[in-house]
Amino acid sequence: MARSMRGLQLTAAAGKGAGVLAEDGGEEERLLRPYDEDNSGNLRRVQVSVMGMTCAACSNSVESALKSLNGVVKATVALLQNKADVTFDPALVKDEDIKTTIEDAGFDAEILPEPSTSHSKPRGTLIGQFTIGGMTCTACVNSVEGILRKLHGVKKAVVALATSLGEVEYDPTVISKDDIINAIEDAGFEASFVQSDEQDKLVVGVNGIANELDVQMLEQNLSLLKGVKQFYFDGTSKELEIHFDPEILGSRTLVDEIESRSYGKLKLLVKNPYARMASKDIEESSNMFRLFTMSLTLSVPVLFMQVICPHIPLLYALLLRRCGPFLMGDWLSWALVTVVQFVIGKRFYIAAGRALRNGSTNMDVLVVLGTSASYFYSVCALLYGAMTGFWSPTYFEASAMLITFVLLGKYLESLAKGKTSDAIKKLVELAPATAILLIKDKGGKVVREREIDSLLIQPGDTLKVLPGTKVPADGLVVWGSSYVNESMVTGESAPVLKEVNSSVIGGTINLHGSLHVQANKVGSNTVLSQIISLVETAQMSKAPIQKFADFIASIFVPAVVTLGLLTLLGWYLAGVLGVYPSEWLPEDGNYFVFSLMFAISVVVIACPCALGLATPTAVMVATGVGANNGVLIKGGDALEKAQKIKYVIFDKTGTLTQGKATVTTAKVFSGMDRGEFLTLVASAEASSEHPLAKAIIEYARHFHFFDEPSTTRNTQVHGTESKYFGWLLDVSDFSALPGQGVQCYIGGKKILVGNRKLMIENRVTIPEHVENFVVELEESAKTGILVAYDNDLVGVLGIADPLKREAAVVIEGLIKMGVNPVMVTGDNWRTAKAVAKEVGITDVRAEVMPAGKADVVCLFQKGGNVVAMVGDGINDSPALAAADVGMAIGAGTDIAIEAADYVLMRSSLEDVITAIDLSRKTFSRIRCNYILASAYNVVAIPVAAGILFPWLKIKLPPWVAGACMALSSVTVVCSSLLLRRYRKPRLTTVLEITVE
């Protein structure tokens, strides 16, 4: 399963767990308790990393094996965290016994070291992102990845050709980012560190530095600042990198102190890492265009002298004038091409040399071989003619035009690849540049306002948001009321009312009134940053199908060189042996020259650039298109699996339904007054956090509305009702019973609110007429809640959770697409079947406890079926992780989103169809790309090798071969860009989809 790695930033690789999964505190709470909790007596507690678990059945298997081990007192296994927590008697059980037991159960195990007892926080591995310039094909990617993975301290390295980015997981205590950059540069590529979300680092641009005295003043001020650990000022870029102690110094305080101590002379501007990346992309594209225009300017005259001038007598006569040992035309051609070959084309020689030193080959090697062969042959031909008087034809124009077309191809690729990241650029543009900070006195009164850079916002800041401006950070409204446009996240065009205690998302647009917002998430923790991170991480990932291209690229260059040598040898021997007539040779040519031109064309045209771009560019465009359509894709692996989905398993509550339960029926079966009945039920449920409890309280509140104090009529914050609603009764001994309901005591009498199981276990008799009423509710897709007071059943509540309006159409559309929908729920069979019938699902799994949903997923995976799970809650996380493709509803919990491969940001079931449809179209495009990339080689290599020459006298000059090579890469990238025209299926047309 793909996991979010917080994409573009450095993050601790070992972070917080996936969260709570059970009613008793869940996996995270159980696994992260202090070690000394169970260290009483002679018992010992350890944590074990367990790898290979895919579902709840696996975790249960491990847990059972551990509990059966003599001496183990307690064993708990957390599926999402791949960990086991074991308490045991060290006199009876050793660490190795625990490890062996888990391995005997069929899983990999490793005893984790106990946490340090010191107060200093140990530093784990980090995930850093680096820009890598100069990569031209998949062979380059393989070369960089191989070198990085061999570095001591590097745990993992992934390099993406399409984005020119690399992510490296490394141990900072063993290797630094500078060491990683040096290793990349030693491999023949350019490298730079992109960014970090470490709270102890800040990168700023410094304006106002005029001379060395200003630099000394800056360094002196930094040295005097308490909390600054180290700093580095780059005089060329005027960028200042500062590492500081966040417990002593904040980023805004740091900037303010530096500016104030310079008496206003220096102005610091926080560098947005995404903007820095964009500027590097623009710089690379501009550099390629500059090199191309220079090469073209020098190459065109050479081609003009070779092709056009022989038909212009006056000019040709000037070129034929002798100047020393050579003709004027030869001198001009040599001079111009030498500049192209060794000045403009220097980058190819440098990159090829470093690649060869590292034992790898890439496109640069092929370019250098082809151009050098043409250039040095031409030079040798001139020298040989000067010494012997036998003048052979030269091919300077082939060398010059080849480099020109390669640079043209690289420039067009840079433009095309730049367009593939438009989604990221659009998301970055959503972030506001500045914010208005409200400065308050100790009494909380606003004393002044100050405009600050939005990158300097700190948690707890109170920000003023004016009408028509963007919300600067995620937070809560503390003053004011307004409508906010949240379409950038939710896709809903209708503005959302924001009042006090309403949450707001950074980057959304405030439409009408002013708001005061207290920031609670800033930097990389904001929703917008997380979306950008997900998209960037997905674009960094590789689809499994790309392994084929990587394998081909690893053997392609040696194979091409061998093919070129065989072409040279074949044509030469055939000529010497008289297989073809000497009339085929060019004027003043020989068999070697004739054969060499075929060999050079083969070497140049067979470059695997297009093959290496086929998959990553398509994945990159698809992730961007998905983000624009509200579907966040976590990687190429998810895309490849989604196009093969056979079953889609839907959770019911909050996924197929709106997740907003409402009481539709309240029937009393005793002499109790209706108001008294609702008061009892609401009082019992007031301490519960269950969604049904909220629905019951809301229904009772409306009933008691006219008895409410006017100050509480608009109170809707769940969990505060008992504090404000005067009509609620005092309860004691409250307890929530998972899967059953709640029980408590009111006025000394026991009250039960829940299902049949709760009543049966408490020996409450359910009369036949009450049972019949509950069955009627369930058959009409409602949940029946039984209420007993003092061991007598007094009434029933009917609760309904309306279906999402698009649910039935989406289910029908999936069936049309050849996908089988399944519904899984913890509800009883009658309610489940009624809901399933309403949406058109025939396969229903009801009364499934949360831990059992993953088992349902595993059941459908039998036989190699690709299974998708669509859910929204914490209890869906194991199933989302177990499924081949997990799809989390965007309005769901962070834990569910973390466990999924697709995030449906707009919480619309229609996006399930979009995700599958986009995946299918993406892989159709990838297959098309491979056909296009292969077609150039399959068709062009034989032509370049001269297979048509004996019959049609057709041959490809080296410079034409270079043009074809550049065109193949551009064709593949442009083919991927066609995905940008993707339009998601509309509900009105989705039923027209047919299985292909």
Highest mean pLDDT of the ranges 113-122, 277-286, 371-380, 688-697: 371-380
Axis crossing angle, helix 328-339 with helix 363-388, rounded to the nearest 10: 160
Q: Examine the pLDDT at 414 and tell me if it is beyond 90.
A: no
Confidence of residue 117 (pLDDT cuts 50, 70, 90): very low
% pLDDT > 70, the chain: 79
% pLDDT > 90, the chain: 9
SS (H, E, C) 432-475: CCEEEEEEECCCCCEEEEEEEEHHHCCCCCEEEECCCCECCCEE
Confidence of residue 751 (pLDDT cuts 50, 70, 90): very high
SS (H, E, C) 373-395: HHHHHHHHHHHHHHHHCCCCCCC
Region of residue 588 (left: phi > 0; alpha: psi -120 to 50; beta: else): left
Mean pLDDT of the region 950-961: 80
Residues with Cβ within 8 Å of residue 636, at least 6 apart in sequence: 538, 541, 542, 543, 544, 545, 546, 615, 616, 619
Instruction: Flag the least confident range among 110-114, 141-145, 261-265, 268-272.
Output: 110-114
Vertex 179: Cα angle to 174 and 183 (nearest 5)? 125
DSSP string, 319-362: HTSEETTEEHHHHHHHHHHHHIIIIITHHHHHHHHHHHHTT---
CATH assignment of 662-705+729-800, among 1.10.3720.10, 3.40.50.1980, 3.30.457.10, 3.40.1110.10 = 3.40.1110.10
Chain-centre distance for alpha carbon 522: 19
Virtual CA dihedral for 165, 168, 173, 176, nearest 10 degrees? Answer: -30
Element (H, E) at 921: helix 910-944
Distances in whole angstroms, Cα of residue 164 to Cα of each of 248, 272, 950, 973: 37, 18, 44, 14
Instruction: Tell me what pLDDT residue 726 has.
Output: 66
Tokens of 443: 């009494």
Instruction: Tell me what pLDDT residue 550 has.
Output: 64
Instruction: Tell me what pLDDT residue 546 has.
Output: 67
SS (H, E, C) 197-221: CCCCEEEEEEECCCCHHHHHHHHHH
Element (H, E) at 974: helix 958-977
Q: Examine the pLDDT at 717 and tell me if it is beyond 60.
A: no
DSSP string, 85-145: EEEE-TTT--HHHHHHHHHHTT-EEEEPPPPP-SSSPPP--EEEEEEEE---SHHHHHHHH
Are the C-beta atoms of 346 and 291 separated by less than 8 Å?
A: no
Judged by DSSP in three states, 822 sits in strand
Q: Examine the pLDDT at 33 and tell me if it is beyond 80.
A: no
Task: Give the Cα separation of 255 and 228 in Å (integer).
Answer: 12
Q: Examine the pLDDT at 342 and tell me if it is beyond 90.
A: yes
Instruction: Tell me what pLDDT residue 649 has.
Output: 94
Are the C-beta atoms of 414 and 161 separated by less than 8 Å?
A: no
Scanning the structure block, which residue is given the tokens 């000045």? 343
Confidence of residue 540 (pLDDT cuts 50, 70, 90): low
Instruction: Flag the least confident range among 86-100, 205-219, 410-424.
Output: 410-424
Q: What is the CATH number of domain 44-112?
A: 3.30.70.100
Instruction: Name beta bridge partners: 27.
Output: none
Instruction: Tell me what pLDDT residue 162 has.
Output: 63
Mean pLDDT of the region 770-795: 88
Judged by DSSP in three states, 481 sits in coil
Instruction: Tell me what pLDDT residue 272 has.
Output: 65
Confidence of residue 443 (pLDDT cuts 50, 70, 90): confident
Q: What is the CATH number of domain 459-520?
A: 2.70.150.10
Fold (CATH) for 625-658+803-918 = Rossmann fold (3.40.50)
Closest by CA position to 204, among listed 145, 265, 267: 267
Instruction: Tell me what pLDDT residue 832 has.
Output: 85
Which residue in the list 364, 651, 855, 876 is annotated as catalytic? 651
Mean pLDDT of the region 894-904: 73
Q: What is the mean pLDDT of the chain?
A: 78
Instruction: Tell me what pLDDT residue 23 has.
Output: 34
Instruction: Tell me what pLDDT residue 492 has.
Output: 60
If 0-12 CB within 10 Å is exposed, 13-18 middle and 19+ buried, where does residue 443 land?
exposed
Q: pLDDT for 513-529, tens place per residue?
A: 889 999 988 776 777 77
Q: pLDDT for 880-891, tens place per residue?
A: 888 899 898 875
Highest mean pLDDT of the ranges 22-36, 59-73, 767-781: 767-781
Q: Examine the pLDDT at 701 and tell me if it is beyond 60.
A: yes
Q: Examine the pLDDT at 715 and tell me if it is beyond 80.
A: no
Instruction: Tell me what pLDDT residue 38 has.
Output: 40
Task: Give the Cα separation of 495 and 864 in Å (integer).
Answer: 45
Can you list the alpha helix ranges (DSSP code H) found in 151-272?
177-186, 212-224, 251-261
Chain-centre distance for alpha carbon 159: 14
Tokens of 197: 């979300």
Instruction: Tell me what pLDDT residue 569 has.
Output: 92
Confidence of residue 37 (pLDDT cuts 50, 70, 90): very low
If 0-12 CB within 10 Å is exposed, 13-18 middle and 19+ buried, where does residue 32 land?
middle
Q: Examine the pLDDT at 925 and tell me if it is beyond 70.
A: yes
Are the C-beta atoms of 563 and 606 separated by less than 8 Å?
A: yes
Q: Examine the pLDDT at 707 and tell me if it is beyond 50.
A: no
Q: Examine the pLDDT at 18 and tell me if it is beyond 50.
A: no
Q: Examine the pLDDT at 820 and tell me if it is beyond 90.
A: yes
Per DSSP (E only), the strands in 593-705 are 631-633, 645-651, 662-668
Q: Examine the pLDDT at 948 and tell me if it is beyond 70.
A: yes
Mean pLDDT of the region 756-775: 89
Judged by DSSP in three states, 423 sits in helix
Q: Examine the pLDDT at 490 and tell me if it is beyond 80.
A: no
pTM (2 d.p.): 0.63
Higher per-residue confidence, 11 vs 660: 660
Can you list the alpha helix ranges (DSSP code H) found in 475-584?
487-490, 527-540, 546-576
Instruction: Tell me what pLDDT residue 279 has.
Output: 58
Q: Examine the pLDDT at 788 and tell me if it is beyond 70.
A: yes
Instruction: Tell me what pLDDT residue 559 has.
Output: 80
Q: pLDDT for 634-663, tens place per residue?
A: 777 788 888 899 999 998 877 888 877 888
- φ and ψ of 834, to 5 deg: -65, -45
Mean pLDDT of the region 456-479: 89
Q: Examine the pLDDT at 40 and tell me if it is beyond 50.
A: no
Amino acid present at 787: V
The residue ranges of every structural domain in the chain are 44-112, 459-520, 610-619+926-991, 625-658+803-918, 662-705+729-800
Q: pLDDT for 259-304, tens place per residue?
A: 888 887 888 887 766 555 555 666 777 888 899 999 999 999 988 8
Confidence of residue 1 (pLDDT cuts 50, 70, 90): very low
Instruction: Tell me what pLDDT residue 334 has.
Output: 93
Task: Please state, as a whole number, how many other Cβ atoms lie within 10 Å of the Cβ of residue 209.
Answer: 18
Respond yes or no: is residue 200 known to be catalytic: no
Burial 505-544 (b: 16+ CB within 10 A, else e): bbbbbbeeeebbbbbebbbbebbbbbbbbbbbbbbbbbbe
Instruction: Tell me what pLDDT residue 341 has.
Output: 92
Instruction: Tell me what pLDDT residue 36 has.
Output: 37
Q: pLDDT for 180-224, tens place per residue?
A: 888 888 777 888 877 554 556 777 888 888 888 888 888 888 888
Mean pLDDT of the region 395-400: 81
Mean pLDDT of the region 57-64: 69
